[in-house]
Structure 1
Amino acid sequence: MTAWIVLPVSLSAFSITGIWIVYAMAVMNHHVCPVENWSYNVTCTEELPRPGFPKTCCTIQDIPLISKCGSFPPESCLFSLIGNVGAFMVVMVCLLRYAQVIEHSHRCWVNTSALVSGCTNAVGLVMVGNFQVDHAKSLHYVGAGVAFPAGLLFVCLQCVLTYRVAVTALDYWMAHFRVALALGAMVSLVLSGIFFIHESFILQHAAAICEWVFTVDILVFYGTFTYEFGTVTSETLMTGLQRSHHGSGVIIGSRARGSTLSGATKGLKSPGGSSTSTHLNCTPESIAML
């Protein structure tokens, strides 16, 4: 058991708790409507806010999308903090997982692709957290368009890696559990996208619920790395980087040797390649015999 086991759990607990606190603050400040509300109006008359109570009249602007919950202060400040800290922790988890797989002698393109997709997911999270949808809509949607697919790709690739490095029956059960989480994330993301493009209030609300399910699902998936990180040491990351560097050195060295042999072969060849030049480059003994 090492201290790294706390990292995935902290990521899940901090992020899930944080976004639900943001949601609660947004509801209490009348910035969004509660998730259990399915009744929406085209317009609403101005109502006096009642502290501690949610809105009674909701429009399409009050649908509790995660991004909408973090659009206005004070909850937007916490939303940005969660995005930044969560992105940093995601990068750390991805790097440790990448190094751990290499440490188990499983160097493959799937592992590298998982690292790239995980870091891309982190970049998208930073953009989503710092560019609120009501103030920088284009940048916010770019960040969401990067974070959500990259996060889904990351969990799918990690499912493949989990099966590849599995040894015990418990390892395979963890792989099965991750596949279930990945399938749930895929279904919820697809449904969220389908519902979001419609103008129906009900479908828009359903899209918000699917978005919440997808986000929590992905964060729970990150938390499952606690199972493997119990064997991670402080040297795991360095070992992975050193092996990767050593592999690059071997490739470079082989290429250098290949170029040296090629140069030597070229040096052994005559400057001319035609039969005429071969006859012209005769030795003195051959000329004497003639």
Structure 2
Amino acid sequence: MHDSSSVVFRGGRMWTCSPWALLPPIYSLLTAAGLWAVYFLAVDEEKIVPLGSKYRGNGSFYPPYISIAGNFPPASCIFSEVMNLASFVGFVIAALRYLQLRQKMDKQWLNVGSLAAFSVGCFGMTLVGNFQLFTEETMHNFGTFLTFILGTLFCWVQSYVTLRVNLRNEGRKAAALRFLLSGSITLCMILYFSLMAQGLHVHAAQCQWALPLPGGVHGALGVPAPTGRAVGTTETQLLHPRPFHCHHGYRFMSHFLSTGRKSAEFMFSPHADVL
């Protein structure tokens, strides 16, 4: 049996890739889905105007900013849960990325600084989720600053790191796309603050809601291709397996219990590109 639970067949041989590769895209999709659930619930509760409408600053409706959408119950309950879970899983992904690059970078301060910056950004996400805008405006805005600024910084640093480390000779392609996404995130932030200062709240909110899209794709780029480590199982062996005997059950259970340890060893091996 091989060490990983994810396999791809190429040229009659089995190639392994770590199941941890699914963590970044799942994290991005679920976080975006949670935020949009908050938006639709706030619109349904008639707390904010839809993103496609015009905001005139009158009545009981508020502009459709993310923080305002998550300010009123029951949407605030979902918003807090989404932000808390997103901050925890984001920190885990950043820690795994740090471990992956720990032995591959000559500038360790860049790797450590990237982890520290994103960790503080994840802490800012908890402030955004737990301190509603209309209740604790100062604390909420401070968390927003940490989340957006340090999150954007993390994207730029990881784009540079992707180019320098060049895992599996894909550094230029992946880094070019990551730089493009980092630029899109930065542009959305500049437009957001600029439009908000001019009182164009709906347009500013549209830029704010657009931020999770390039950020999510940037994170989902952690999905690797197969690592290229053949484990010697051919299609013939898979089509004609050996008969199963009783003593094979003991071997299977031993392998099952050690799967976590072996997956961790493979994930942090020099040949694995996880995030």
Identity %: 27
- Cα offset for 1:181? 0.3
Equivalents in 2 of 1:181, 1:81: separation in Å? 27
Distance 1:124 1:183, change over 3 A: same
Instruction: Specify the code of the residue in structure 2 equivalent to 1:234.
Output: A
Find the counterpart in structure 2 of residue 222 from structure 1.
219
Query: 1:28 — aligned with what?
Result: 44
**Unaligned stretches of 5+ residues in structure 1:** 45-58, 241-290
Say how many residue pairs are matched. 221
Closer/same/farther in 2, CA of residues 191 and 10 from structure 1, 3 Å limit: same
Amino acid in the other structure paired with 1:7: L
Cα pair distance change 1:204/1:42, threshold 3 Å: closer
CA contact (8 A) 1:91 1:122 kept: yes
The equivalences for 1:39-188 within 5 A come to 40-44=55-59, 62-168=62-168, 170-188=170-188
**What's the CA shift for 1:239?**
8.1
Q: Tell me if structure 1 keeps the 8 A contact 2:152–2:186.
A: yes
- Given that 2:87 and 2:123 are in contact with CA atoms closer than 8 Å, whether structure 1 keeps it comes out as yes
Q: CA deviation at 1:229?
A: 9.9
**Contact kept in structure 1, 2:100 and 2:268, CA below 8 Å:** no
Deviation digits for residues 227-250 of structure 1 (CA, Å, limit 9, x no counterpart)? 38979941378889xxxxxxxxxx
Compute the displacement of 1:20 (Å).
0.7
* Correspondence for 2:251: none
Is the CA contact (8 Å cut-off) linking 1:118 and 1:154 kept in structure 2? yes
C-alpha separation in 2, matches of 1:159 and 1:208: 26
Counterpart check, 1:9 vs 2:25:
yes
SS of the residue corresponding to residue 41 of structure 1 reads: coil
Which structure carries more relative contact order (alpha carbon 8 Å, separation 6+)?
A: 2
Paired residue type of 2:176: H
CA contact (8 A) 1:188 1:214 kept: yes
Larger gyration radius, structure 1 or structure 2: 1
Does the 8 A contact of 2:18 with 2:267 survive in 1?
Answer: no
Alignment RMSD, CA only? Answer: 2.4
Greater strand proportion: 2
Q: Taking structure 2 as the reference length, what is the TM-score of the superposition? A: 0.74
Structure 2: which 5+ residue stretches go unaligned? 1-16, 229-261, 271-275
Greater per-residue helix proportion = 1
